[in-house]
Amino acid sequence: MTARSDLKLRFLPAAVFTPLFAAAALAFAFWAARADDGDPLGPGVLVAPAVICGLLTVTAVITLVVVARRRSGT
């Protein structure tokens, strides 16, 4: 017996958060590129949230692909 998850319940958050995480990653990356070393939040500090948001974007995209494949039955 295999466990089944509700595909609609997995699809909705992934569909909502994929563009949000992507936008946040781009915003943090742009902010890090424009930051100077003397700023309170320098480039080194801003790269971490950009990478984290980028990884969350990749995770959400993978979830969307998995759900789409399961919905199609392949």
Model confidence pLDDT, tens digit, residues 57-69: 999 999 999 999 9
Confidence (pTM) = 0.83
Confidence of residue 56 (pLDDT cuts 50, 70, 90): very high
The answer on pLDDT for 29 being more than 70 is yes
**Domain count for the chain:** 1
Residue-range definition of the domain harbouring residue 55: 7-72
27 three-class SS: helix
Is 51 part of any domain? yes
Domain presence at residue 25: yes
Whether residue 30 lies inside any domain: the answer is yes
2 within domain boundaries: no
Residue 40 lies in a domain: yes
User: What residues contact residue 7 under an 8 Å CB cut-off, 6+ apart?
Assistant: 67, 70, 71
Supply the DSSP symbol for 35: -
- Asked if residue 1 belongs to a domain, the reply is no
